[in-house]
Every structure is written in C-alpha cells, then in structure tokens.
C-alpha cells in the first residue's frame, strides 16, 4: 500500500444526520452511515432519491444544511471542493467531460498537479500518468486528443483523472450507464482492482448485477432517506427496498 493510503483508523468516512433542501424540497433527510477503509460501498435507489446530491455533499460541491461529515478523523463539513480533494476524496460525474483538446495522457497529468499529493515536476507527472493509464486500460489508446475517445474510454479516462489526485476515497457516479454486458464486466474488474490497490470506493449504480457483484455493503436511498444498509444479499431481499426501487410484487434480479 502506498504511504498516502496508510489508514489512521478502521473508519474512513462518517456521515452523521446529513440533510439538504432545495427550494423547500428535502433532497437528503438526516442520512447517517460509516465507511471503513478498503470497502466497496454500493449506493442505490430510484431516480431522484438523492444519490448524486449525497455525492455532492461529500465531495464539497454542496454544503449541508445540517449534519456532519468526518473523513480520515477530520471534520470536513462544508469545506470547499478543492480542499476536499486535497484531503483525499475524488469523484467522477455522470456526464464525463474530459479536456477534449488535450491527449489522454495530458488529461491525467493535469490531475497529478492537484489533489492530496501533487507531482513535484512534469517528469514525475508524466511517469505516474502513464501508470494510471495502464491501470485503467487506456495506455494503448494513442489518440491525439481525448475528444476522439469512445464512450467507454471516456468513462475510463474520467476514473483515471480522479485517480491522478491520489485519493483515499473514490466516488463513482454511474460509470456503467450505457455499457454493454462485456463492458460492465470489465468495469467491475477495474473497480475491484482500484480497491485492491488500497483505495476505498463508493459506487452509485443502477446496474444491479454490478452492485451485487462488487459491493461489500449496500445503502439504499429513497426520497432522500436511508431505508436499508447491509450486505448485497440482505438489501436485494428487503421488502422495503423492493417496493421503493421496483414497485410492489416485483423482485430484484442480478
């Protein structure tokens, strides 16, 4: 494990009674959970349940109305996104937006200039960016600019740019949307490989096969509230989850 990933305690992230409203609409309602070092946590729920809002709160894009966020034994509640990144939390977005006029390598080198342990010089950034491209399966994509990459490779580049900030915690927001079954299997292997490298992961995803296949634990949100927290098997058989996520009389399928 790299030095910047050495855990200070078993618990990496603590979210306590987090709430957020938009124009009187309660998007997140007193959500609490903990996350341990080395876990892959799946975060699921119907559209509009608050998953991305929760990511925005943890990553500093939004400030909570109430509640507290502790990361690596430090209170990070409400601090700006760039400082959250420097603390060791990185995220991806549903709509990937690389620097289209830069090469994939240059995109990742930009990430190495920021985050929790920025590269000391361009040479170090170049070497480490190539290592990250290799990890994410992009090292052979020698296109001149990132805008020429297909959807799958743009999603992988989004992950590579996040990894370039040397996170302890990686938040992945629907990275498997639009992928075919073979591509989903590849993405699952990539996420497991990231965890095996020492990075803790939270995954927002609608592909239930992926959530069940990679998650150590799953949290379910519905209308901004946490309605379940347990192993994938416990969650997919929970009657409240089935009703909220798929409707009455239906079953969650792998």
Residues 19 and 64 both lie in one domain: yes
Overall average pLDDT of the 189-213 stretch: 94
Within 10 angstroms of residue 61's Cβ, the number of other Cβ atoms is 15
Instruction: For residue 90, list its beta bridge partners.
Output: 170
pLDDT score at 243: 85
Lowest mean pLDDT among 87-91, 112-116, 245-249: 245-249
Handedness of CA 144, 147, 152, 156 (dihedral sign): positive
Last residue of a domain, one of 160, 179, 211: 160
- Mean pLDDT computed over every residue of the chain: 91
- Contact indicator for 26, 46 with CB cutoff of 8 Å: no
User: Cα torsion for 32, 94, 135, 214, to the nearest 10°?
Assistant: 50
Residue 76 has pLDDT above 90, yes or no: yes
Whole-number Å distance between alpha carbons of 169 and 199:
6
Last residue of a domain, one of 160, 189, 207: 160
Helices (H) and strands (E) in the chain, counts: 9, 10
Overall average pLDDT of the 158-171 stretch: 97
Residues 195 and 225 both lie in one domain: yes
Overall average pLDDT of the 46-72 stretch: 96
The phi and psi torsions of 61 (rounded to 5 degrees) equal: -75, -25
Residues 83 and 14 both lie in one domain: yes
Q: Tokens in use for 225?
A: 């509230």
Boundaries of domain holding 121: 100-160
User: Cα torsion for 218, 224, 226, 232, to the nearest 10°?
Assistant: -20
Residue 98 has pLDDT above 50, yes or no: yes
Overall average pLDDT of the 125-152 stretch: 93
Residue 90 has pLDDT above 60, yes or no: yes
Whole-number Å distance between alpha carbons of 249 and 228:
19
Residue 7 has pLDDT above 70, yes or no: no
Residues 82 and 123 both lie in one domain: no
This prediction's pTM: 0.90
- Residue 253, in any domain of the structure: no
Residues 156 and 196 both lie in one domain: no
Question: In the chain, what percentage of residues exceed pLDDT 90?
Answer: 78
Last residue of a domain, one of 144, 160, 176: 160
Residues 151 and 173 both lie in one domain: no
Residue 246 has pLDDT above 80, yes or no: no
Residues 179 and 232 both lie in one domain: yes
Instruction: For residue 219, list its beta bridge partners.
Output: 43, 229
- Residue 122, in any domain of the structure: yes
Residues 11 and 77 both lie in one domain: yes
Overall average pLDDT of the 231-251 stretch: 77
- Residue 250, in any domain of the structure: no
Residue 201 has pLDDT above 50, yes or no: yes
Question: Which CATH number characterizes residue 8's domain?
Answer: 3.40.50.300
| Tally of domains within the chain | 2
Number of Cα atoms under 13 Å in the Cβ half of residue 134? 6
- Residue 12, in any domain of the structure: yes
Whole-number Å distance between alpha carbons of 120 and 204:
33
Residues 9 and 83 both lie in one domain: yes
Overall average pLDDT of the 139-164 stretch: 93
Higher pLDDT, 250 or 158: 158
Residues 150 and 240 both lie in one domain: no
Going by the DSSP 8-state scheme, the letter that residue 8 receives in this structure is: S
- Residue 254, in any domain of the structure: no
- Residue 95, in any domain of the structure: no
- Residue 172, in any domain of the structure: yes
Would you place residue 97 in the very low, low, confident or very high pLDDT band (cuts 50, 70, 90)? confident
- Contact indicator for 134, 82 with CB cutoff of 8 Å: no
Residues 42 and 81 both lie in one domain: yes
Residues in the chain: 254
- Residue 251, in any domain of the structure: no
Residues 73 and 106 both lie in one domain: no
Residue 250 has pLDDT above 60, yes or no: no
Within 10 angstroms of residue 230's Cβ, the number of other Cβ atoms is 15
């Amino acid at each position: 494990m790299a030095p910047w990933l050495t855990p200070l305690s078993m618990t990496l992230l603590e979210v306590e009674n987090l709430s957020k409203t938009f124009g009187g609409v309660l998007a997140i309602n007193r959500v609490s959970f903990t996350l341990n070092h080395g876990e892959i946590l799946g975060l699921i729920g119907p559209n509009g349940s608050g998953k991305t809002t929760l990511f925005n709160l943890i990553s500093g894009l939004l400030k909570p109305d109430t509640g507290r966020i502790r990361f690596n034994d430090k209170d990070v509640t409400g601090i700006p996104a760039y400082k959250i990144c420097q603390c060791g939390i990185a995220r991806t977005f549903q709509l990937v937006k690389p620097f289209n006029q830069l090469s994939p390598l240059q995109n990742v080198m930009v990430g190495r200039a920021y985050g929790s342990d920025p590269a000391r010089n361009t040479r170090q950034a170049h070497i480490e960016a190539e290592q990250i491209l290799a990890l994410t399966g992009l090292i052979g994509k020698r296109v001149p600019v990132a805008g020429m990459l297909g959807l799958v490779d743009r999603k992988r580049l989004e992950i590579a740019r996040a990894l370039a900030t040397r996170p302890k915690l990686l938040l992945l927001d629907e990275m498997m949307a639009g992928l075919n079954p073979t591509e989903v299997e590849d993405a699952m292997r990539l996420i497991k490989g990231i965890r095996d490298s020492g990075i803790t992961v939270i995954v927002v995803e609608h592909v239930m096969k992926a959530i069940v296949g990679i998650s150590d634990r799953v949290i379910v949100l519905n209308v901004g509230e946490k309605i379940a927290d347990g192993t994938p098997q416990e969650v997919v058989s929970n009657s409240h989850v089935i009703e909220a996520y798929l409707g009455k009389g239906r079953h969650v399928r792998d």
